[in-house]
Amino acid sequence: MIIVAISVLFTNNLARQLQEEEEKNMAIWAEAEQQIASAGENEDISFSLSIIEQNTTIPVCILDTAGRVTDYRNISADKAGKLQHGPIELKIDEANTLYIYWDDSSLLTKLRYVPYAQFALIFIFMAIAVITMLTGQRSEQNRLWVGLSKETAHQLGTPISSLNAWQQLLAETYPNDEFVPQMKRDIERLQMIADRFQKIGSEPTLQAEDLIPVIQNAVTYMRARISGRITIEDNCLKGVGRTVMLNAPLLQWVIENLLKNAVDAISGEGLITLQLHENEHEVILDITDSGKGMDKKTQRRIFEPGFTSKDRGWGLGLPLAKRIVEQYHGGKLLLKHTQLGVGTTFRIVLKKPEHR
């Protein structure tokens, strides 16, 4: 902006000097016209004619007292008589007076647009710089997600294998123990989590599947782990199947994460409602809770990595969920509505197979 400001001041000063020079030239040109018009038959007017002929850049026209164009130079006939500078009066005789009008030369006109051209170039340069910076930042974030996910899956692999071996040994040693099967289910859950992180670290494979079983699995998992004072209403899942392109483990994790956030937003007794509907191109899932809602500052930042409104949290759940839905599934994850003291609704939009 400083460069543009300096350029505008310099260019305007230069344009003003050029305009003053053109005004002086037109005064000389008008004097030459005056001499030619008042010259006698034997008077030499070659010098005045040379002055007239030297004007090859400034648009000029001559009008009579009735406003008719009598002569013009460096301009088309249709624009003669519409010039902005003047007039300079030429007193031919007592009965005849001519008026000279002129306009800025093409050089002066172009000079006035130089600052705007410079501003446009600087704006383009800044836009390219910002786009490059954001693209680099996004690529860095992508590499961070991939590296974090793969490393997490790798670190989980060894203890899960060890736990699996210990569980098999306990099952053989205590075949009738009621806690050993529960341990097996927890180990399988850990293995599924590790598998999800492995999939996040690479491009997942999508298949045309019914969305309802994926939602039901997430709801069943959460119901077994929440207070009986919180109700999850999923009547919408009893209808006709909804087929979309999805990766079941990853999308189930997204739904579980949204349900867990809904549970955390409810203090005491509350309700979580799932609504499923579709249009010609998309299947839409709304998850609504009767929790505390969010203020405007939180609304703006909920998808930022590292931001959390919880006392204990990493701030990675919603950003990762958004990445899974939008980058891997080509859908949308958005905050549809929230109100303090009333609740929040998140929306997942997934495209049908024929519209991907």
Same domain, 237 and 168: no
The CATH number for 245's domain is 3.30.565.10
Q: Is residue 65 a part of any domain in this protein?
A: yes
Same domain, 92 and 209: no
Q: Is residue 120 a part of any domain in this protein?
A: no
Measured at the CA of 305, the angle between CA 277 and CA 126, to 5 degrees, comes to: 100
Give 54's contacts (C-beta < 8 A, 6+ positions apart).
none
Q: Is residue 119 a part of any domain in this protein?
A: no
Q: Which domain holds residue 43?
A: 2-104
Same domain, 33 and 164: no
Give how many domains the chain has, as a whole number: 3
Same domain, 239 and 161: no
Q: Is residue 255 a part of any domain in this protein?
A: yes
Encoding tokens for residue 259? 């349900």
The label of the residue with tokens 């051209």 reads 117
Same domain, 221 and 351: yes
Written as tens digits, the pLDDT of the chain (356 aa) is: 787 778 778 888 888 888 888 888 888 888 888 777 777 667 777 887 888 888 888 888 888 887 888 888 888 877 777 788 888 888 877 777 888 888 888 888 888 788 788 788 888 988 999 988 888 777 776 676 667 767 777 677 778 888 888 888 888 888 888 888 888 888 887 887 777 777 665 677 888 899 999 999 999 988 888 888 899 998 877 767 788 989 888 899 899 999 999 998 998 889 999 998 888 889 999 999 999 999 888 888 888 877 777 766 666 788 888 988 998 889 999 999 999 989 999 999 998 887 65
Of 146, 222, 235, 147, nearest to 189 by C-alpha is 222
Same domain, 144 and 80: no
Q: Is residue 193 a part of any domain in this protein?
A: no
Q: Is residue 186 a part of any domain in this protein?
A: no
Separation of alpha carbons 56 and 86, rounded Å: 18
C-alpha separations of 31 from 61, 225, 246 in Å:
14, 100, 85
Q: Is residue 195 a part of any domain in this protein?
A: no
Same domain, 229 and 351: yes
Tell me if residue 342 falls in helix, strand or coil. coil
The residue out of 54, 85, 104 marking a domain boundary is 104
Of 286, 236, 294, 229, nearest to 263 by C-alpha is 229
C-alpha separations of 173 from 164, 176, 179, 353 in Å:
14, 9, 13, 49
Same domain, 338 and 263: yes
Q: Is residue 309 a part of any domain in this protein?
A: yes
